[in-house]
A and B are shown apart, each in its own frame.
Chain A
């Protein structure tokens, strides 16, 4: 079958890094990603089924992998070669439409008894992502055994599958996984929070804004969004952000909304007060530094965007007694925060429908045009797009 496969090749990694540095997403062509013909992956264990992807999204973490800029932290928790693609809506052999929850936790790995985190419903925190009967891989899309969404078929464990209601389009369904990641970040906003700043308005940022406006439970009074591109700002406002600014204007906006004093003689070096919670959906050194400088003492900075190796002055974290909190994948949300103690994926299905997040899918491509698709995804904001996905519904092999 046809698949985009990522292979371990140091020269190609180097080439991808150089090309990616020249222009985001350009690592796709010279790098380790190849369109190949491979066998359909099969995991010979109870509970594993074949999924034929209909749509498979391109995520920021995929782009970092393609441009060889992702952290070496991942090396021992992925296995090569792998087929990327963890944002998937697809069909089972019996025709059931499903969304994939890609984390490969204890249940998928055949580990019994399951770890305490999986038992608590926090599969994203699974203690065994490199163990069990599968090759290492924190998620489908990074594991050599399972295959991934950028292909005609992949193998998935029944614990990973969520049936899709008929009313939900494929475009909406492919947004469930990234929306769940966003909910995970929004879920870190404590009850009673007044002002939340959201940095970044790509898929994660926009879904986070939607989460902060639609999730059950106590939600913040004011959401301030920093968005780089005009279309992102329009969507951020449409999804419920109360104040939308360009990134350079974020500190001023947070100061205005919170009534904080600021350090700086008219220009703002940092805020004396700031937002109660800042959710960073970018994960760059600049965005993290910005988050630390606009969050009020005692407040919380939530990292939703994958940060990688960054050089950031953590003095404000110390001096202002900030909490730096990661938000990865999904599980069960806290009972006293947004999400009301419900499973993240369940909340994500509801949120995608309620906020019409299917509209964030801006363009789809066939696998053969993967270089164009990845370039588009890498420049999505600038090109007025949000989510780019591979459309596998019309692939000839799939319909044989």
Chain B
């Protein structure tokens, strides 16, 4: 039985049909066309007979009483005293929480963060704690807007704290409010938010959407600065993380763990709260997206036709607004609190319970239909760099053991890949795309020649701090996220993308999947094995 399985106090789940696990389908002549996400749209594609399709598991049952589960987690933490025992009058309490990049899509209210933070604040109030700060731990991501903060923490918390300046976004460029805590044995500087570091207790509220989330990464990354991040957000780390979703083979994980130990040894006391959720990703009328095609009902088929017909008549902006308004029905499957490593072990097991799908053997070609959203374009535009990152960074790395595609194989992505950027959110991405990628797509060269000048650019700093811009260095990280895949695969083809944008990424454009498969044969030879990754909902391939 996995560590997540014991009946934890308050963890009774909603009864219902047991969810079916993920599985691998072999395409035969009777297999209906397969759904491919394609940005703000979908495609039905016929995969060659003999291809494999990896389907995610069905959604795990959710907690019957999430608030009670949270309360129980706070009262019965792992490896630490109950939270009330750690709260006392006059103490400095800081509550940090994950930013707008989690979960995806955003969840229906109340957000998990709101539930957890309200519970923590209730206990703090009972203990007479009145020095409380709430910080959105966004590292080098863009600041959250008021609406986004309200969605995450709820109106009650927002109205009680934000007007008094006690609820705010972490600022990784505010030198006065950062502190260098120490260095790891490898010389990695650990610099984090000063308020968090100097608090008597830092409570970190996580939403663990994938196995990379949480653990020491929460504080060591979420509340840190470029000075710290550059030690693990780099090409070498990403190429040595196979994959960064597998903590036992992730250099990214190892670096964050080393930094976490520096924080712990320096006396930064963290009460970690990690939450997991099921993969119930799409609400009606888009719920057909998470069904297996041969199980589509007449209503599902009508919904698909209606959705695609309607979307075809919409402008890009209208489609984007429609999709970005989606609030997912996913909900909590677990909550664990206490000492970071003990908590994270349980959480990871719970994430795997939802996401792991056993797959035997790699494929010559892996196809992916990329959806409209990634962690970095919430309420924004999925620009070409984010398309690359979602496909080659996130989806490619959703594996344990071996990548789904063999070394030297081909990844085929399906996405419109428009040459379009959100100027407010992604100003440095524009320059990265137009200047850096026009020069070279080699991550090592890019890191060596361009990173520092973008990271230290005063205009990007200004926009990051005062507007809603991702940090100047952020597009580099997106490209580094692709570094393992770029090193591993022989070619990348994008179906249905803007050819000019696709070429700028260094990839090959194809107008149809059939064309892409033919082009791929140049790299992998005739009669290749093909695996389609049927996501989202997200899953993680356990490849043996």
- Tell me which of B424, B434, B453 contacts A266 (CB under 8 A): B424
How far is the CB of B130 from the nearest CB of chain A, in Å?
37
* Cα of A299 to Cα of B6 in the assembled complex, Å: 72
How many interface contacts (CB-CB < 8 Å) are there between A and B?
A: 40
Contacts of A245 in B (CB 8 A): 434-435
Mask: chain A, 249-289; 1 = CB below 8 Å from B; 0 = not:
10011011001111011110000000000000000000000
How many residues in B have their beta carbons less than 8 Å from beta carbons of A? 18
| B434, B435, B459, B462 pick with most chain A CB within 10 angstroms | B459
B435 & A266 in contact (Cβ 8 Å cutoff): no
A243 beta carbon closer than 8 Å to chain B: yes
- Tell me which of B424, B434, B435, B453 contacts A265 (CB under 8 A): B424
Q: In the complex where A266-B424, A266-B425 touch, is A259 in contact with B458 (Cβ < 8 A)?
A: yes
Q: Which residue of A lies closest to B433 (CB)?
A: A249
Q: In the complex where A253-B435, A255-B459, A259-B457 touch, is A265 in contact with B423 (Cβ < 8 A)?
A: yes
B462 & A261 in contact (Cβ 8 Å cutoff): yes
B426 beta carbon closer than 8 Å to chain A: yes
Q: Which residue of B lies closest to A233 (CB)?
A: B438
* Cα of A222 to Cα of B422 in the assembled complex, Å: 29
Q: In the complex where A245-B434, A249-B434, A256-B431 touch, is A267 in contact with B423 (Cβ < 8 A)?
A: yes
* Cα of A269 to Cα of B422 in the assembled complex, Å: 15
* Cα of A100 to Cα of B158 in the assembled complex, Å: 77
How far is the CB of B246 from the nearest CB of chain A, in Å?
36
- Tell me which of A243, A253, A261, A267 contacts B459 (CB under 8 A): A261
* Cα of A267 to Cα of B430 in the assembled complex, Å: 10
Q: In the complex where A243-B435, A252-B430 touch, is A266 in contact with B462 (Cβ < 8 A)?
A: no
Mask: chain B, 455-496; 1 = CB below 8 Å from A; 0 = not:
001110011000101000000000000000000000000000
Contacts of A265 in B (CB 8 A): 423-424, 463, 467
* Cα of A267 to Cα of B431 in the assembled complex, Å: 11
Contacts of A243 in B (CB 8 A): 435
Contacts of B431 in A (CB 8 A): 252-253, 256
Contacts of B369 in A (CB 8 A): none
Mask: chain A, 213-246; 1 = CB below 8 Å from B; 0 = not:
0000000000000000000000000000001010
Q: Which residue of A lies closest to B467 (CB)?
A: A265
Contacts of A266 in B (CB 8 A): 422-427, 463, 467, 469
Mask: chain B, 425-457; 1 = CB below 8 Å from A; 0 = not:
111001100110000000000000000010001
A260 & B459 in contact (Cβ 8 Å cutoff): yes
* Cα of A259 to Cα of B456 in the assembled complex, Å: 10
* Cα of A154 to Cα of B453 in the assembled complex, Å: 57
Contacts of B458 in A (CB 8 A): 259, 261
How far is the CB of A368 from the nearest CB of chain B, in Å?
39
* Cα of A173 to Cα of B504 in the assembled complex, Å: 38
| B424, B427, B430 pick with most chain A CB within 10 angstroms | B427
* Cα of A252 to Cα of B431 in the assembled complex, Å: 7
Contacts of B459 in A (CB 8 A): 255, 260-262
Contacts of B434 in A (CB 8 A): 245, 249, 252-253
How far is the CB of B180 from the nearest CB of chain A, in Å?
26
* Cα of A264 to Cα of B423 in the assembled complex, Å: 9
* Cα of A255 to Cα of B430 in the assembled complex, Å: 12
* Cα of A347 to Cα of B425 in the assembled complex, Å: 48
* Cα of A86 to Cα of B423 in the assembled complex, Å: 46
How far is the CB of B137 from the nearest CB of chain A, in Å?
23
* Cα of A91 to Cα of B430 in the assembled complex, Å: 53
Contacts of B467 in A (CB 8 A): 265-266
* Cα of A243 to Cα of B434 in the assembled complex, Å: 11
* Cα of A285 to Cα of B487 in the assembled complex, Å: 48
* Cα of A355 to Cα of B422 in the assembled complex, Å: 41
Q: Which residue of B lies closest to A256 (CB)?
A: B431
Contacts of A253 in B (CB 8 A): 431, 434-435
How far is the CB of A291 from the nearest CB of chain B, in Å?
20
How far is the CB of B307 from the nearest CB of chain A, in Å?
32
* Cα of A223 to Cα of B453 in the assembled complex, Å: 18
* Cα of A253 to Cα of B425 in the assembled complex, Å: 19
* Cα of A294 to Cα of B105 in the assembled complex, Å: 40
Contacts of B424 in A (CB 8 A): 265-267
Contacts of A262 in B (CB 8 A): 459
B435 & A256 in contact (Cβ 8 Å cutoff): yes
* Cα of A180 to Cα of B453 in the assembled complex, Å: 37
* Cα of A333 to Cα of B228 in the assembled complex, Å: 53
Q: Which residue of A lies closest to B432 (CB)?
A: A256
| A253, A256, A262, A265 pick with most chain B CB within 10 angstroms | A256
Contacts of A261 in B (CB 8 A): 458-459, 462
* Cα of A267 to Cα of B453 in the assembled complex, Å: 19
* Cα of A130 to Cα of B66 in the assembled complex, Å: 92
* Cα of A23 to Cα of B430 in the assembled complex, Å: 33
| A252, A255, A266 pick with most chain B CB within 10 angstroms | A266
How far is the CB of A201 from the nearest CB of chain B, in Å?
16
Contacts of A267 in B (CB 8 A): 423-424, 427
How far is the CB of A252 from the nearest CB of chain B, in Å?
6
Mask: chain B, 159-170; 1 = CB below 8 Å from A; 0 = not:
000000000000
* Cα of A267 to Cα of B435 in the assembled complex, Å: 16
6 smallest A-B Cβ distances: which pairs? Answer: A266-B423, A266-B427, A267-B423, A266-B424, A261-B459, A249-B434
Interface residues of A (CB under 8 A from B): 243, 245, 249, 252-253, 255-256, 259-262, 264-267
**18 A-B contacts, Cβ less than 8 Å apart?**
A243-B435, A252-B431, A253-B434, A256-B431, A256-B457, A259-B457, A260-B459, A261-B458, A261-B459, A261-B462, A262-B459, A264-B423, A265-B424, A266-B425, A266-B427, A266-B463, A266-B469, A267-B424
Interface residues of B (CB under 8 A from A): 422-427, 430-431, 434-435, 453, 457-459, 462-463, 467, 469
Known pairs A253-B431, A253-B434, A259-B457. 9 more at Cβ < 8 A? A252-B435, A253-B435, A260-B459, A262-B459, A266-B422, A266-B424, A266-B469, A267-B424, A267-B427
